[in-house]
Structure 1
């Protein structure tokens, strides 16, 4: 058992549990909850999940279903929304489990219950879509998807042949296995250590991007820099140390809307870059958009969380935003299947009006299916699995302790 001492990134403050606003208290401050099963204690982060998912959806629509002027240029590298989710995952897990005594087996079962039921359901749906379209289905790819190991395998058939959008869950599974160990590291528990880690991650993502110059094959480079869980671990780690810092009272150097402007400005800056450099080259914005955005997304998450803790309205934590955020995981997994089925049956639209109509139909259909998947599959199955799985023993919670795997 290891304790997490006080302090955050760039601060040596004593531990301080801030107050948080729930989604229905209209900005009034409420006591911080220690119930690990409660959700939306930071409602703006839930709301941001929808916008990150939308970025990914529009990215796929632009690249697969046809471009819409202005929108497509801005979201041409919207795959960076996955980077946001990796940073957010580390932040939320650190925020939730810091100071809690939870056996690793309980933590891992909870994460399994959270992601696997919907993964299995959408994999069945994806395989059905391939078969309806008359495509061969690789049993190896399906098995790798269900076992959450496909991102480790540099084979396009395995990566995309089962459930294409689910590759990021393979990375998440790796993060979950590493999380108890990361929380036990002295550097992660130390204010100075977190400062060094945050700075190291910022340097590391640049070095990883530059390392693309050493990989001549574009397919191998894309796998190594975009899919491989080891490459993405730095993004999760930055989320972890940022989450721990915020729980200890650290305030990010920029407010929420400044952080939003920086993220938007980054994506807009990629537009002229994309005109000048083809994606196949290592110094194109393709890998850079995902890797170099890591610190910006960490700032965005921290600023949104800080606003919630201070009880300041953000426009992201209302009932509707939170509901859309709940659907975002299902939307992320389902939208690609809907796009695939539409294009397989009707082909790529021709002309601006037809393209816009396809976009609207796909957005509406996939979001509706996602709402149903959340209500009837994801949420109820998660609750059932958590109920039958291992639980935390009824014992006093020792501040700052998390069990590591034995």
Structure 2
């Protein structure tokens, strides 16, 4: 299956939104809405898994192996760097425990001893806990006839989200896997079925959906409104659906830089915070203006992610066999 360019470019935009969010946070600015890039990633993840499973059928074991092969090595490497930095005293506020490190490495949601939040050692790895849940459920669904897979996953995730709303529980595992954010994977799968059946909207409607989505994000960001997956999730769905409608025209051009950023989005997502932290601390010591510091952080975080993709992620993927098409890499968890 060839690259769906609109999806590639959305991945690039979502990754940059997260980078800007963290750069702003570290330099005293406000771009909280950038965190909604994760919602877009999750919708894309559901879309891609549904489409590639239709085009390239696989056994549950093979499916999970491919996911693990793409996600785990780079994530473990980044986590190891984080642990080494903490042991070296570079992160004085970080509290390390063996239990938390192991839970982080094996995608088990648990509360951080440093903050009490349900975060792994590498904070942005929290999204991978959701991705691994989705992959596990998706892998099991491959045992079902195709027509039952989407209803089965949707029914399970809707039930989990409903239980999470109705039954207040403080257990970290339960709190994670009953969040409504898991429904974004289901929405992406539904979009994937629309795409396979060639039932996406016409370009004019798609453009309107994109405008509505971006307008919603801009409104939340400019007014500093509170938000979570209940608001940003639907906006992410509209954005992906609109992009697919434009893609269906066959007129989306090949753009080298956005394509590279899309391919590198997983590495950018994992590694950008290291560079941003260094830039922010150096800028504070040197008295550099916060706006310049933020800009430098964005550039440094993005470049570090690209370098990690070119010299770590891509070589690891190429070892042993030719990597799958770029479209199969769809989110912060590099499908």
Query: 1:244 Cα deviation (Å)?
Result: 1.7
| 1:318 pairs with one of 250, 255, 280 | 255
Deviation, structure 1 residue 124: 2.0
Q: What does 1:228-307 correspond to in 2, within 5 Å?
A: 228-231=176-179, 232-252=181-201, 255-271=205-221, 274=224, 285-287=226-228, 290-307=229-246
The within-5 A match list for 1:27-176 is 33=1, 41-67=3-29, 72=30, 75-130=31-86, 131-135=88-92, 136-149=95-108, 152-155=109-112, 156=115, 159-160=118-119, 162-176=121-135
Distance change (3 Å), C-alpha of 1:143 and 1:325: same
Within 1, Cα distance between the matches of 2:15 and 2:183? Answer: 21
CA deviation vs aligned residue, 1:361-404 (integer Å, no higher than 9, x gap): 212222222122111111111232667xxxxxxxxxxxxxxxxx
So what's the TM-score if we normalise by structure 2?
0.79
User: Over aligned residue pairs, what C-alpha RMSD do you find?
Assistant: 3.7
Deviation at 1:208, TM superposition (A): 8.8
The answer to which of 264-273 and 112-121 deviates more is 264-273
Structural mapping, 1:5-24, within 5 Å? none
> Take 2:85 and 2:71, find their aligned partners in 1: how far apart are those partners?
21
Distance 2:199 2:310 in 1: 36
| Aligned twin of 2:271 | 334
Q: CA deviation at 1:185?
A: 6.0
Contact kept? 2:142, 2:149, Cα under 8 Å: no
Q: What is the distance in 2 between the residues matched to 1:386 and 1:109?
A: 14
Cα offset for 1:235?
Answer: 0.9
Q: Distance in 1 between matches of 2:183 and 2:250?
A: 30
Cα distance in 1 for partners of 2:144, 2:309 equals: 35
* 1:355 and 2:290 aligned: yes
Residues 355 and 159 of structure 1, relative CA distance in 2, 3 Å threshold: same
Counterpart secondary structure, 2:57: coil
SS of 1:333 mapped into structure 2: helix
How big is each residue's C-alpha offset from its partner over 1:222-279, in whole Å with a ceiling of 9 and x where there is no partner? Answer: x799x7134232111111121022111111376443232222211222247636xxxx
On the 8 A contact 1:65/1:339 being kept in 2, the answer is: no
Which residue in the other structure is 2:314 paired with? 379
Shift of 1:184: 5.9
In 1, Cα distance between equivalents of 2:149 and 2:89? 54
Mapped contact 1:44–1:305 kept (Cα < 8 A):
yes
Q: Distance in 2 between matches of 1:386 and 1:248?
A: 31
**Retained in 1: the 8 A contact 2:209–2:241?**
no
- Is the 1:238–1:298 Cα contact (8 Å) retained in structure 2? yes
Q: 1:193 to 1:274 in 2, by over 3 A?
A: same
2:110/2:173 contact within 8 Å kept: no
Secondary structure of 1:83's aligned partner: helix
Q: Distance between the aligned counterparts of 1:86 and 1:255, measured in 2?
A: 23
Aligned residues: 315
Contact 2:163 2:178 in 1 (8 A): no
TM-score if structure 1 supplies the norm length?
0.67
